[in-house]
Structure 1
Amino acid sequence: MAKTVRSLVVLGDSTTVGVGDPVPGGWRGVGALLAAALPHARYHNVSFTGARVASVRHRQLPAALAARPDAAVVLVGMNDTLRSDFDGRRVHVDLDAVVGALVSAGAAVVTVRFHDHSRVFRLPGALRRALRARIEELNGIVDAVVRRHGIECVDLDLMDGAYSPDTWAVDRLHPSEAGHRRLAAAFAARLARAGCEVPGRVSLTRTGGLEVTPLHHVVWLVVKGVPWLWRRGRDLVPYAATIVYRSWAGHPEPARYVATEAVVGPTTAAPPLRQPSL
């Protein structure tokens, strides 16, 4: 018999905040769309913009556990790949701790493995290779955590419309309304496969979102796009330069962290309760 979801929690970064799906008064996004298909569930979104896997573990997880979740969505990791201090082993330990704690609390958990975002946000060749290598490493970590805990996972690379322009918002970093709806529908299907009752349906028809015009694209590029590329470029350029040099010199690239199901250190104990920054 399918389990009734009475508490749904959503953890993650700006995507789970809803950025890219503007409605009057703020953001809507994947969490709210998924919650609408679970009419018996209290909806708790503890995510915040800029979150990395460690901040989900230490700042969001306590609030998520306090909500006594029956179902949980975890979507985080892309921000880690864009930082110069990316550490696959640390990401693995933190993600394993988040998922392990939610599973131990009785939640059906769904997470994601990531698409090749360099196909969406056009980057110079070296930066594209650097980002792709990081995403491959992150996906290996996700795969290990999914296997270890037996949770459900949405593969964004294989999701219908993943690389379609209408899936992405003006910034090409976050899903559009259509993208958020596709994500919510995929999460609903995975929760149903995990044994949860999903009485409603996530419609893929756009409704209620604010229309994005060509002017929005220009304004975003000037005000947000160029500064963002400059900040992330400073983080990724040294790594990208190393890749270019090794290719030119004929040296093999350094070994990446290879995730296995076993991780070092505590993985399921929750840290002390702290209020998340929303």
Structure 2
Amino acid sequence: MRTVRFVALGDSLTEGVGDPVGGAWRGWAALLAGGLAEEHVEFTNLAVSGAQTREVLEVQTPAGLALKPDIVSVVIGVNDTLRCTFDIHAVAERLDEVYAAFTGQGATLLTACLPDPGSMLGLPASLARPLARRQRAVNRVVHALSDRYGAIHLHAAEEDWITHRAMWSADRLHPGEQGHRQLALRFHTLLRQADRAGGPPPSPEPQFPAPTRSASLLWLATAGSAWIARRCTDLLPQLLRLAADEMRHRARGTSARLDLRAAAAVSAALAAVSISDPEAA
């Protein structure tokens, strides 16, 4: 029987953060791997916490291509939105190159759009809106490129289950075990419909009890506060500028300009990668 090779690229979401098993992270990709075939599945997780599209293109993609996967997942972009260096043109160019490399090798590509971090963290509106606008931009790019390369795409940003608190870990940014299981189950359904999954679907039922409230508070007081401090050093100055711009436009009644500006940037980014597409040319 032929071996199915599955390689996962991305950041902490794909690494499995929020789903600890045996002192390590498991996550949705590992749960999905078991359902790709009845037997003989080789799974390699190249995802690294904190990775951005640049790391996926420059580090993870060469390693993944060397493994010649039958199925490859590329779920990335949230960390790009959380940096002062955010550039939707660069995000589009990198994802276009990554998708082209794997589909050019014959791999089935898995992608997903994701909810914005501001709403998941419950940030004030003036801070959450700029992050939401950035994530919508990334999702629009992922949607368009997924369609271009025939990816199996999961609309995770639009699923009802993401609003259920039980699906999320203490940090409110990463799924807990139940959330990771839902991602794996939904990807498996899409793969089954495309006749690309021959094994049993992952179970939606959690294997371990959800973290207690005290455990969640402990995480926020220790590792969580350290995470926030690291992000604030890089993102907070620009985020405050974005929030000030947001409030200024709201006071003038011109908030729609910010959305139009973001939409124009996405359109320009997609037009630029279309020009470089041999088929489009």
Partner residue of 1:14? Answer: 12
- Whether 2:58 is the aligned partner of 1:48: answer no
1:29 aligns with 2:35: no
Partner of 1:275: none
Does 2:243 align with 1:240? yes
Amino acid at match of 1:263: V
Deviations 1:208-264 (A, max 9, x none): x46522222111222233444451434422222222222224443271212436507
1:184 Cα offset (Å) = 0.6
Question: Residues 194 and 101 from structure 1, CA distance in 2 versus in 1: closer, same or farther, beyond 3 angstroms?
Answer: farther
- The aligned runs of 1:95-110 (5 Å cut-off) are 95-110=95-110
Superposed CA RMSD = 2.3
Note the residue ranges of structure 1 that are not aligned, 5 or more in a row. Answer: 269-278
Q: So what's the TM-score if we normalise by structure 1?
A: 0.88
Instruction: Confirm or deny that 1:206 pairs with 2:212.
Output: no
- Identity among equivalent pairs (%): 34
> 1:188·1:198 contact (CA, 8 Å) conserved in 2?
no
Q: CA separation of 1:235/1:195 partners in 2, compared to 1, >3 Å: closer, same or farther?
A: farther
Match of 1:181 in 2: 181
List aligned pairs for 1:94-173, cutoff 5 A: 94-173=94-173
CA distance in 2, matches of 1:43, 1:65: 14
**184-193 vs 13-22, greater mean Cα deviation:** 184-193
The answer as to 2:261 corresponding to 1:258 is: no
Deviation at 1:122, TM superposition (A): 0.8
Mapped contact 2:170–2:216 kept (Cα < 8 A): yes
Cα contact 1:73–1:109 (8 A) shared by 2: yes
Match of 2:261, SS state, is coil
- Structure 2: segments with no counterpart, 5+ residues: none
1:158 CA drift (Å) = 2.7
SS in 2 for 1:195: coil
Contact kept, 8 Å, 2:72 with 2:110, in 1: the verdict is: yes
- The equivalent residue for 2:217 is 218
Give the aligned residue type for 1:18: G
Could you list the runs of 4 or more consecutive aligned residues of structure 1 that deviate by over 6 angstroms after TM superposition?
264-268
2:25, 2:225 → 1: CA distance? 23
The aligned length equals 265
Higher helix residue share: 2
Indicate if the aligned counterparts of 1:22 and 1:210 stay in contact, CA closer than 8 A: no
Q: How far apart in 2 are the matches of 1:172 and 1:154? A: 20
Greater CA drift, 13-22 or 226-235: 226-235
State the shift of 1:192 in Å: 2.4
AA of the residue aligned to 2:188: A
Residue in structure 1 matched with residue 83 of structure 2 by the alignment: 83
What SS class does the counterpart of residue 238 from structure 1 fall into? Answer: helix
